[in-house]
Amino acid sequence: MTQPTTGGQSPAPGVIEVAAGLVFREGKLLITQRYPEAHQGGRWEFPGGKRDPHESYEACLRRELKEELGIEIEVQHLVESISHQYPEKAVLLKFYRCAWRRHEPRTLGCRDFRWITAEDLSRFEFPAADARLLDTLRRRPELWVGT
Is the CATH code 3.40.50.150 the one for domain 16-140? no
Count of Cβ atoms closer than 10 Å to residue 133 Cβ: 19
71-115: per-residue pLDDT in tens?
A: 999 999 999 999 988 878 888 999 999 999 999 999 999 999 999
Strands 16-25 and 90-102: parallel
Domain ranges of the chain: 16-140
Which residues is 25 bridged to in the sheet? Answer: 28
Mean pLDDT of all residues in 3-10: 44
58-73: per-residue pLDDT in tens?
A: 999 999 999 999 999 9
pTM, 2 dp? 0.87
Count of Cβ atoms closer than 10 Å to residue 25 Cβ: 16
As a whole number of angstroms, the distance between CA 27 and CA 99 comes to 11
* Residue 46 one-letter amino acid: F
Determine the 3-state secondary structure of 140 from DSSP: coil
